[in-house]
Amino acid sequence: MAIFTGAGVAITTPFNEDGSVDYDSFREHIEYQIEKGTDSIIVCGTTGEASTLTHEEHLECIRFCVSVVNKRVPVVAGTGSNCTDTAIYLSREAQKSGADALLVVTPYYNKATQKGLIAHFTAIAESVSLPIILYNVPGRTGVNILPETAVTLAKTVENIVAIKEASGNISQVAKLAALADGCIDIYSGNDDQVIPILSLGGKGVISVLSNVAPKETHDMVAKYLEGDVKGALDIQLKAMPLCDALFCEVNPIPVKKAVSLIGYGTGKLRMPLTDIEEANETKLVKAMKDFGIKLAAEM
């Protein structure tokens, strides 16, 4: 059974001006997501700036999110690392904190062979009992989970049950779907490829767009799964300019600004990420307004 079906938000982590985690804004944003129909909260992923959180902050953000959500939707905790032992530690602690599932990215910088990926993910999975979503994002990590590797893991490790596919390679996803024959759930990791991946049997999306358009992203998936392909496609195509704007600089720079513009947090980032360029902010604001998103300043 799928961890979730629909649109899960890869939620941002708001910071105060002094760089500390802004838990008040975090709570408000989580509540907004649930109110608008988000099907799952994915905490401490790429969009949540997990790479610049301390281990203590990382785990506290997971605990906080689990507490606020209070079982209303599944909470998926990002616990990946390029160090297998660190990923095991974070995964075990996330399980103790009450997370419903884990999102585990491929090792970055030191990378790994396909044999190494199998060993890495197997060791993490065997350290916990929670279901695990593999996270394939070679543009960031420099290593690609081949379809054959994902299928091997799903067939040999009981709690490896899904993959977030952010390779951008639809042909690879099609091959994965064909080889898997249903043994692994597939989630789109790219907001501009939701409908194509659903057409290949995907279960939904782990979404940046959902941070500012949770209802529309949920509706896009729900309509498709209910058979309203045209309705779903209409949302996908209408969202394309906003998707482009949300990735006009490296994620999560634009989405942190976008979330602050709808009233949740300051938009502050941790270095080495820096504030969005003025021209890109103008592009982002226009795309948000054109999509029908109301900015806090206009409310």
Instruction: For 188-217, give the DSSP string.
Output: ES-GGGHHHHHHTT--EEEESGGGT-HHHH
| 257 annotated active-site | no
Q: Which of 36, 111, 164, 215 is catalytic?
A: 164
d(CA 44, CA 23) in angstroms, rounded, equals: 14
| 187 annotated active-site | no
| pLDDT higher than threshold 90 for residue 1 | no
Q: How many CA atoms lie within 13 A of 288 on its CB side?
A: 27
E runs forming strands in 156-260: 160-165, 185-188, 204-207
Cα angle value 223/224/225 (rounded, 5°): 95
Average pLDDT estimate for 105-127: 97
Q: Which residue has the tokens 């982590």?
A: 13
pLDDT tens-digit series, residues 174-214: 999 999 999 999 999 999 999 999 999 999 999 999 999 99
Classified as helix, coil or strand, 129 is coil
d(CA 1, CA 190) in angstroms, rounded, equals: 23
102 closest CA partner among 44, 166, 38: 44
Peptide bond into 252 cis (omega under 30): yes
| pLDDT higher than threshold 70 for residue 161 | yes
Structure tokens at 131: 């279901």
Confidence of residue 68 (pLDDT cuts 50, 70, 90): very high
| pLDDT higher than threshold 90 for residue 3 | yes
Structure tokens at 54: 């301390």
**How much is the pLDDT for 17?**
94
Query: What's the CATH fold of domain 6-230?
Result: TIM Barrel (3.20.20)
Classified as helix, coil or strand, 37 is coil
**How much is the pLDDT for 299?**
61
Confidence of residue 115 (pLDDT cuts 50, 70, 90): very high
Q: Which of 71, 96, 135, 256 is catalytic?
A: 135
Contacts of 7 (CB under 8 A, 6+ apart): 37, 38, 39, 40, 204, 205, 207, 210, 214, 217, 218, 220, 221
d(CA 158, CA 193) in angstroms, rounded, equals: 28
Contacts of 294 (CB under 8 A, 6+ apart): 262
